Amino acid sequence: MEITHKKYEGLNLIIVQGTLNKYADAGINEILLNTPATDELHLWVDCSDIKQIIQVNTSFSDFINYLLQLKHQGVQILLFGLNNNTRKMLALLKLDQFFGQAPTLDDAYLTLSQKLPVS
């Protein structure tokens, strides 16, 4: 698991690649605590190996519950690398409205670049 923290003007981006586990939770929470309240927070989670994420987090619902807690704290969440079954499950449970989605990390960066001011 790898956590990358990038800062742009007024925006903090946390990218979690690999298997999200309790150490990732602690790393994400530490970044959140050290981020100014005025900054926009984005969390991008690599879901390409969702089965492994579920095994580490006990269940899919635990994983989603953690993401919803972060969403409630004002973190904008984007899931990338989702397979078709997981995408359908999120839509069926009406959770797709809470999380952005991108096919790949590169696509996620394209979405972000459209939101950043041009200097």
Q: Retrieve residue 97's tokens.
A: 């409205």
Q: Provide the residue-wise pLDDT of the chain in tens; the chain has 119 residues.
A: 788 999 987 889 999 987 766 677 788 888 888 888 888 999 999 988 776 666 665 677 888 898 999 999 999 999 999 989 889 989 999 999 999 999 999 999 998 877 665 55
Q: Where are the domains of the chain?
A: 2-112
Domain 2-112 has CATH 3.40.190.10: no
- Residue type at position 84: N
- DSSP one-letter code for 36: -
d(CA 79, CA 62): 16
Q: pTM to 2 decimals? A: 0.86
| Cβ atoms 45, 14 nearer than 8 A | no
